[in-house]
Amino acid sequence: MDAEKNMASFLNPNVQLDRFDGTNFTHWKGKLFFLLTVLKIAYVLDPNLQPLPEPDKNKDTDTLEAESKKRSKDEVMCQGHILNTLSDSLCDLYNTMKSPKEIWNALEYKYKAEKEELNMAAATKSFDWWLDSGATIHVCNDKSLFFAYEEENVGEVVLMGNHVLPRFLEKGVSIFNLPLERNYF
């Protein structure tokens, strides 16, 4: 009875979930999971959910059969709610999957991976050059910024102040026109 009452409140047009179109995954996921929790069917998405045991002669088969019917009904409801909140194009893609857990995991994998890729791209943005204060080392990953450069012999190393021996690949001369007014250190 409670589930029907909660369901009626969510069928109200004023309480509609946003359709997931691929851009608002975190918010959509939270809202949908809350809806599924209120409807008491979110448990079917639990990765630790144990499969129902096989019917045994010694155990009560009526309760096991009732649990099986309830779980299959909840899985259908959960899958319907997930697909109902997807945009039409995404619904067509994920409609062929068999279980709500499979759809949920596929969506999480795709859209969490995209978010991590965006964060990784932002973290790997490099600068054209940087100045190591306290030493006269200029590192540059763009050869066009060098005035002149030449290859060094293979295996040639430089002794750094911290006893590290980095290999030389090329040695070059850079000309930097820095304004005199600015204090760089």
- Please report, for the chain, the start and end positions of each structural domain, with discontinuous segments joined by +: 2-123, 129-174
Distance CA 85, CA 82 (A): 6
Whether 130 shows a pLDDT value over 70: the answer reads: no
Whether 172 shows a pLDDT value over 60: the answer reads: yes
Say whether 112 sits in a helix, a strand or coil. Answer: helix
Query: What percent of the chain stands above pLDDT 90?
Result: 19
Looking at per-residue pLDDT, the higher value among 4 and 13 belongs to 4
At 82-109, the pLDDT tens digits run 999 998 888 888 899 999 999 999 998 8
Query: pTM above 0.75?
Result: no
Say whether 183 sits in a helix, a strand or coil. Answer: coil
Whether 32 shows a pLDDT value over 70: the answer reads: yes
Query: What percent of the chain stands above pLDDT 70?
Result: 51
Question: In terms of Cα–Cα distance, which of 15, 26, 12 is closest to 107?
Answer: 26
Say whether 115 sits in a helix, a strand or coil. Answer: helix
Looking at per-residue pLDDT, the higher value among 154 and 93 belongs to 93
Instruction: Supply the Cα-derived Rg of the chain in whole angstroms.
Output: 30
Whether 124 shows a pLDDT value over 90: the answer reads: no
